[in-house]
A and B are shown apart, each in its own frame.
Chain A
Amino acid sequence: MDAVSILNYIIAFFSLFVVSVFLLLFLKYRNTYLQKPKQTGWKPLVSVIMPAYNEGVYIADSIKSVLASDYPKDKLDIIIVDDGSTDNTYEIAKTFEKENPVRVFKKENGGKGAALNFGIEKAKGELTATMDADSYLTKDTLKELIPYFTDLEVMAVTPAVKIKQTTSWISEFQRIEYLMILFSRKLLSFIDCVPVTPGPFSMFRTGVLTKVGGFDEHNLVEDQEIALRIQANNYKIKSSMSASVYTEPPSTMWDLLRQRVRWQRGGVRNYWKYRFLIKPEYGDFGVYFIPLNFATLTAFFVVLGLLLYSLLSTPYYVRYIWFDVFGLGMDLFTFVAGFVIITSLAFLYLSVKSFKNECIKLRYMITFIFFYWYLMVGYNVLFLIKELRKDSFSW
């Protein structure tokens, strides 16, 4: 057996294993994954920190969505941190201060992490939520999230961050992707492996944020870094499927690629920074989840290499039997790939079905996997190029 065959076998088995873990998790929790904690009537003071940099277009609607929450206004403490905007963000935010539990601060531009930390210093709530200035809550978001904190072990809760239905195919693909992420994150939460507290909206116990030292001010994906730090401190992060938050997605392919390259670069660096968690003491997070991220990235490049190799090493005579090769070439790997694709499609279907209000057109569902593969190739290749060139880190 040659090296290429061995690599093929390893990748095939690895893919099956990852899919099987998710499959078994789903089977185990299929009847409970949509359950939410009981409402207890507990209504703590909630600080909502909204850092904003040149968000004049969106910020008013974002603030309005928090104020419209089905939650007592006197239990809300909305902190707007204008991070040195050069547009009218500050002026717009200021208009909400009168008659509303809104406090607006302006500071020199220092990045999102620094703005969040600035807000944490001002926070008075028992719970603190971080929120992007281009995200919107629904009436029930806070009400759905708060009951999770009645479990004293829970230190952070992530909502269901979604994208509103649009007519743009690029947004629709992101909508599907976000739903799949939510579904898989929910399954991962059952083994305490939630790796991110999403920037659009996440809720924390204020004490924990202070205790773990606040947000990393020099991180490309500070929302992931804080989650890893919470995990490193053995605090629990839960994931809600019913608390919806809507956010604005990148609207062009180039913006989407840039966002993903940033996530990937920041993400890989964060996992590398927290590689010390790869120990049985950190349970599934240390033994399975962190290694899984390194293995997945490695596997992705190996698969890409194998595909390129198979394309470049296609024998000359195959040109005479192109169509027959589809039949002749079928083997274990075709079967495994088929199984992985069918399972992914089933997960895709379950992800969408888990959110009754989300309606996705069939054509987007069918083409999503192909789109996502090319997106992954794009951002991973760009990620690799940027890392090899040691490009500077910036938003």
Chain B
Amino acid sequence: MDRHVSVPLYVGAFFLSLAIFLIGIYIGSLIDQSNLDQISGDILVATEKVKSINLLLLAEGNSTSFCPVYLSEISSVESDVEKMGHKLTYLEEEKDIYDTELKKEYFILEAESYLLSKKAKTLCDDKSVLLLYFYSNTNCSICYDQGIDVLKARDNILTGEKFIKIYSFDGTIGSPVAEALMAEFNVTGYPTIIIDNVKYEGRLNTAEIYEIFQNHSNSQAN
């Protein structure tokens, strides 16, 4: 028999594939934008919650009678804030999607949440350990692993109640809030961890962070 190559079939299949591929890329970009919009919306909602807690604090002065409400509200906000942080990290690390302005908004929310927790610690005798983690996505090759070690150490020490609160800040994206906190603790390099106002510079592994947490827990118990 006479054989032939069905060139039109393969050319057609190529262009059909290309068309579907391009539609896929376009839809993918729409989904990415929608994910960023979703996080942006979540930040707005959480910011409103923070404002409400702040209003309550202002209204009640230094009264401790509302402490259960403060602590519960702060805990709820922080849980949301942490999730948003992970989502932003996922988009950056896994999909190479960076939105600096959104990140800055997120850092403002995180800083507000940190300040609220700090206030609650004093006012309500809250035993939470506050951990500030300063990193850089651009000039710190060990920062990603350091961030994971901080999480692992926090998860290792969980004993029924989450009492270590982590606030991460990228010091190199031009966030005024991050820069202000860095100035407060005189942070000059990455990674740097501040645990209840004590500064630890350079890489700490999970076991070392865990040990610091243990010491904090013991000293707070005493």
Contacts and interface: CB of A to CB of B under 8 A. Distances in A.
B3 A192 contact: yes
Interface string A321-343: 10011011111111110010000
A318 interface: yes
Contacts of B93: 315
Contacts of B23: 335
B66 interface: no
B90 A317 contact: yes
B59 interface: no
Nearest to A284: B6
Nearest to A155: B1
A332 B14 contact: no
Nearest to A2: B96
B197 to A, nearest CB: 25
Interface string A1-32: 00000000000110011001101110010000
A173 interface: no
A307 interface: no
Interface string B139-164: 00000000110011000000000000
A246 interface: no
B172 interface: no
A126 interface: no
B3 A234 contact: yes
Nearest to B9: A24
Nearest to A154: B1
A312 B86 CA distance: 18
B128 interface: no
Interface in B28-61: 28, 31-32, 35, 38
B28 A331 contact: yes
Contact of A318 (B21, B28, B90): B90
B28 A328 contact: no
A254 interface: no
Nearest to A282: B3
B13 A24 contact: yes
A41 interface: no
A287 B10 CA distance: 10
B17 interface: yes
B83 A16 contact: no
Contacts of B21: 12-13, 16, 332, 336
A235 B3 CA distance: 10
Contact of A328 (B24, B87, B152): B87
Contacts of A234: 1, 3
Interface of A is mostly: helix
B221 interface: no
A91 B4 CA distance: 50
Interface residues of A, number: 44
B14 A331 contact: no
B180 interface: no
Interface string A36-61: 00000000000000000000000000
Contacts of A355: none
Interface of B is mostly: helix
B82 interface: yes
A281 interface: yes
A258 interface: no
A318 B1 CA distance: 58
Interface in B85-112: 86-87, 89-91, 93-95
Interface string A163-200: 00000000000000000000000000001100000000
B5 interface: yes
Contact of A13 (B17, B35, B148, B152): B17
A203 to B, nearest CB: 18
Contact of A332 (B3, B16, B24, B89): B24
A250 to B, nearest CB: 34
A286 B3 CA distance: 10
A87 interface: no
Contacts of B148: 315-317
B37 to A, nearest CB: 12
B43 to A, nearest CB: 15
B90 A20 contact: no
B14 A17 contact: yes
Given A324-B83, A332-B28, A280 B5 contact: yes
A236 B86 CA distance: 60
Contacts of A339: 20, 24
A320 interface: yes
Interface in A99-139: none
A321 B13 CA distance: 38
28 contacts: A13-B17, A13-B21, A17-B13, A24-B16, A191-B6, A192-B3, A281-B3, A284-B6, A285-B3, A315-B89, A316-B148, A317-B89, A317-B151, A320-B86, A321-B83, A325-B90, A327-B31, A328-B35, A328-B87, A329-B90, A331-B28, A331-B95, A332-B21, A332-B28, A335-B28, A336-B21, A339-B20, A339-B24
Query: Closest 5 A-B residue pairs measured CB to CB?
Result: A283-B3, A335-B24, A16-B17, A20-B13, A331-B28
Given A327-B31, A330-B28, A332-B27, 5 more contacts: A20-B14, A234-B3, A288-B5, A321-B86, A328-B35
